[in-house]
Structure 1
Amino acid sequence: MSNKIKVSLFNHLIDAERQLLDPEIRQSERALDALLDDEFIEIAANGTTFNKYQVLTRLPTEVVPQFYNQHFKGRMLSDDVAQLSYQAAYRRTARSEFNYSLRMSLWRKQGEQWQMVFHQGTPCAPFTISMDDD
């Protein structure tokens, strides 16, 4: 099996990843439920872990931070598991300092639908935020 990801799937998963940052999606338990696998686990940049239930109860109440993500890379780990990695910068308010991290997500195909099964953010050194959509 080649670990090369198809461009169409790569673009679909980047879009799904960005949907999870969309205020409307984050406030909809139904939309989040569709995007997250039932076995979902997140390891936050501070080392805290969350399961799907905790994310579904936490995200709708959070103030959505300002996010940038860029330099996506993708590969297939199996026929039905894909890995995305990218740089992310976020801040709580327009006056806050940015927090920089490297992010990794695993997406698993369930039937015809791809759902995030794992996500981790690891703090990293500051980088230049590109306003290009890559």
Structure 2
Amino acid sequence: MIRKITQELLDELIALERLLLEPHVRESKERLSMLLDDDFYEISANGLLFDKRHVLSRLPSEKVPQFYNQDFRGQMLSDTLAQLTYQAAYRRNAYSNLQFSLRMSLWRQNVSGWQLLFHQGTPSPEFVLKYD
């Protein structure tokens, strides 16, 4: 049964989701490893599948793109599994066009706290960015 998420937990998971976009986290295998569940996998916006090992080997050397995310929604799928959905836009550098997507993440609570279990990005039509 899907349950309503508390505002406190929603805020915590949004902060963790955004932490994954911070250069000091993306460039650190140790910090990334703490945020990603051992069973983590991702389906990228272009349909590629990545596991934790691949992300830890790729992300620290990748240039951090500009990210914008908004309109977060959350729900509890079980006592230890939460789902976040949101809109995201990103660009590789200041000269490239924005790419728009809908994102979904599953966060699992374990003895280490909340860790990202699954993430998927799906291309979407352009939407209005809210700079708040």
Distance 2:55 2:70 in 1: 23
Q: Aligned partners of 1:80, 1:13: CA distance in 2, in Å? A: 13
> Corresponding residue for 1:55?
55
Corresponding position of 1:78: 78
Residue of structure 2 in register with 1:93 after alignment: 93
User: If the length of structure 2 is used for normalisation, what is the TM-score?
Assistant: 0.98
Please report the TM-score for the alignment, with normalisation by the length of structure 1: 0.96
Greater Cα shift, 110-119 or 9-18? 110-119
Is 1:11 the equivalent of 2:15? Answer: no
Residues 30-84 of structure 1: CA distance to partner in whole angstroms, max 9, x if unpaired? 1100100000010000000000000001000100000000000000000000000
Root-mean-square deviation (CA, aligned residues, Å) is: 0.9
1:67 is matched with which residue? 67
Q: Which residue of 1 aligns with 2:113?
A: 113
**Alpha-carbon distance in structure 1 between the residues aligned to 2:112 and 2:52:** 20
Could you list the runs of 5+ residues in structure 1 that have no partner in the other structure? none
Q: Secondary structure at the match of 2:130?
A: coil
Aligned positions, number: 132
What fraction of aligned residue pairs are identical, expressed as a percent?
57
Where structure 2 has 5 or more consecutive residues not aligned to the other structure, the ranges are none
Rounded Cα–Cα distance in structure 2 between residues aligned with 1:89 and 1:21: 12
